[in-house]
Amino acid sequence: MSEVIWQKLDGRVTFALPLRAVLVFVVLLFVVFAITLIALMSGSFPMSATDALRSLAGNPPPDMATTVVWEFRLPRALAAAMAGALLAGSGAVLQTVTRNALADPSLVGVSQGAGLAVVTVLVIFPETPIGLRPVLAFAGALAVATLIQAIAMRRTGGATMRFILTGIGVAAFLGAVTQAMLTYGDLNRAMAALGWLAGSVHAAGWGDVQVLCISLALLIPAMIWAARPLAALRMGPEIATGLGSAVTRDRAALITLSVALAACAVAMVGPLAFVGLIAPHLARRLARSGPGLHLALSLAIGAALVAGADLIGRIAFAPVQIPAGLVTAVIGAPVFGWLLLQHAKS
Amino acid sequence: MIGLRLRTGALALAVLAVAFAWHIAVGAKVIPLATVAEAFWGYDETVFDHVVIRDLRLPRALMAVAVGAGLAVAGALMQGVTRNPLADPGLLGLLAGASFAVVLGTFTGLTSPAVIPVLAAIGALAAASIVWGVASAVPGGASPMTLVLAGAAVTAFLAALTAIMLLIDETSFEALRVWLTGTLAGRPGTAGLWAAGWLVLGLVVALGAARQVTAMAMGDEAATGLGVDVRKLRLAILVSVVALTAAAVALAGPMGFVGLVVPHMVRLVVGHDYRVIVPASAVVGATYLLLADIAARMLLAPVEISTGLITALLGAPVFVWLVRARL
């Protein structure tokens, strides 16, 4: 593996940059851009790439193009990409902290906790401003994460498989409560909540994009901070302690970060399954790197995944729109099965 | 010992009878138990309550009994043969497979009453094979954890495919949407009779094999030593579990966690002899689902919750507790 190594002050400041990982990251950014462009072009009002780009630049060919691109397709594509990035980051952090290759926010009930909080609010207090939703989702998700940790943490400090199984049980329970809430609630509100629960970005507008932007802006610095404790924790709690990290504190902070990342995404686009599972693995397979760059790669892959899933869901059975969450589940579940085989081997 | 068993058995049956009568009495209109009794022994078709009981409530109560008994026995057998405290038709993906197959059948126009249980059986069998295949391909064999995780993956995959089919053809699936959460509100008609046939098949095989399952629960070697043909027994149990699951799904959709909770409750009382566990699971499972359905109808009255949601609300904490206590 080729690395660019940068030394200053006789090697006291050294900086190694794995070239391949950086290259992959740049390629991934292009992929995200390409998917966004295709998303802008395709739909019931198709347009050429140049037309799409020209309307983006504020120099649209016919009148309709501006509305279609700016009001419908662009916010939707952006929301998909950003939500995907958030979920992927959440999964990457969670997998490293729990040292469990199968951890995913939607699998262990974190997403469902956020989902329940949001559905409760959608059904009971529909007038709640959209900006508050991530906060509520975060509260719900954090409560669930704490609960699962408390249950799973018993003999061996949160044995990994038990963590996942407990999460599956908690997720089933929360799912049933959410469903019951929908039966009880007013039909129209329930229908709105139902579409959201399938993990769909088709109603995403600039309001959602704004909230997602703010979430990313707040959480990216936290992720940059997280790179260091993640690097220590990934070698196991004993070695991390030996390296001088406060394991309990770091673990709690990182799980909170992971929960926050998932909650922000879930609040806006619903619980998209398996993105947090696939993206970090794909990132690891594409390029070996330290945890910081791995996080960045995961974010880019997550963005590409959800944007791609939304695009597929939009055009595969047009005019019927398949929510992105269903597409990611169809792709993600077999990957999960395959990972299960790999996981037990190692 | 035998006397004690008889007394416990009689008590369980009495509780079942009370639950059955109570289930028929409650609803949108509460009907006094005396009228319920009258509807059976002195049926008068000019009395509105009698007609309601005979045409609406009795079929529903019978469905609850059939589905509860079927799922509970299926769960007990799976737990015994795989020696896995977390085995359940829902957790291991059989319910998802069966309901996916039924939706696929509806999608392609196969809706005749005789075909639905067959489809459900094929789906359950396919899902069981995939879950078992994945879990046993894992080095170290099919442990409870890998089985449940593989089941969760298969369930998620099939649920997404089912949801996509529902979206593509929205109009014809309004009824299926409720059915997919596990409900006893549907009226199966002739399909119910076909499903009952599958149920009887499953129960007969289960009762016949129960004795050998006790040996099997001690381990493959011990069972072979006791003269059990392990492969043949596995096959018989698979047939029984698939038939029972198919019947339950054809009647009421995927009803989660019944097969997990009931056998564990039963084992607490009757011990580890499957000759007792299997019939006891059937009786307790029927009672359990009757009570769950009463809760589903009364909890948020006049709105009715899907019964499958109640069983999930009750069963998921038991699952979490089992994970914590047994693994």
The residues, any chain, with a CB within 8 Å of residue A130's CB and separated by 6 or more, are A207, A208, A211
Separation of CA A312 from chain center: 18
A17 CA: distance to closest CA in chain B (Å):
37
Residue whose entry in the numeric block shows the structure tokens 């390409």? A34
Distances (CA, A) of A316 to A41, A307, A319, B89: 15, 14, 9, 33
- Domain boundaries along the sequence of chain A: 19-345
Other C-beta atoms lying within 10 Å of the C-beta of residue A127: 5
Question: Tens of pLDDT along chain B (327 residues)?
Answer: 567 778 888 998 999 999 998 888 887 778 888 888 888 887 777 888 888 887 788 888 999 999 999 999 999 999 988 888 888 998 999 999 999 998 888 888 777 778 888 999 999 999 999 998 888 887 767 778 888 888 988 998 998 888 888 877 766 666 677 788 888 887 767 778 888 899 999 999 999 988 888 888 888 888 888 888 888 888 999 999 999 999 999 888 889 899 999 999 998 888 888 888 999 999 999 999 999 999 988 887 777 888 999 999 999 999 988 888 876
A185: nearest Cα among B167, B253, B307, B305 = B305
Which chain A residues are within 8 Å of B157, Cβ to Cβ? 329-330, 333-334
- Average pLDDT value for residue range A109-114: 87
How much is the pLDDT for A250? 84
Separation CA A224–CA A46 (nearest Å): 40
B304 CA: distance to closest CA in chain A (Å):
8
Q: Record the tokens describing residue A117, joined without a space.
A: 């909080």
Q: Is B202 left (phi over 0), alpha (psi -120 to 50) or beta?
A: alpha
A16 touches chain B (CB under 8 A): no
Separation CA B166–CA B180 (nearest Å): 11
- Domain boundaries along the sequence of chain B: 2-326
Separation CA A115–CA B134 (nearest Å): 30
**pTM, full prediction:** 0.86
Class of the domain covering A19-345? mainly alpha
CB contact under 8 A, B312 and A332: no
pLDDT greater than 70 at residue A13: no
What are φ and ψ of residue B189, in 5° steps? 60, -135
ω into residue B302 within 30 of 0, thus cis?
yes
Q: Is A246 left (phi over 0), alpha (psi -120 to 50) or beta?
A: beta
Closest in A164, A172, A320 to B168, CB measured: A320
Tell me the pLDDT band of A64, cut-offs 50, 70 and 90.
low
Which chain A residues are within 8 Å of B156, Cβ to Cβ? 273-274, 329, 332-333, 336
B2-326 is classed CATH 1.10.10.10 = no
Residue whose entry in the numeric block shows the structure tokens 């609803």? B27
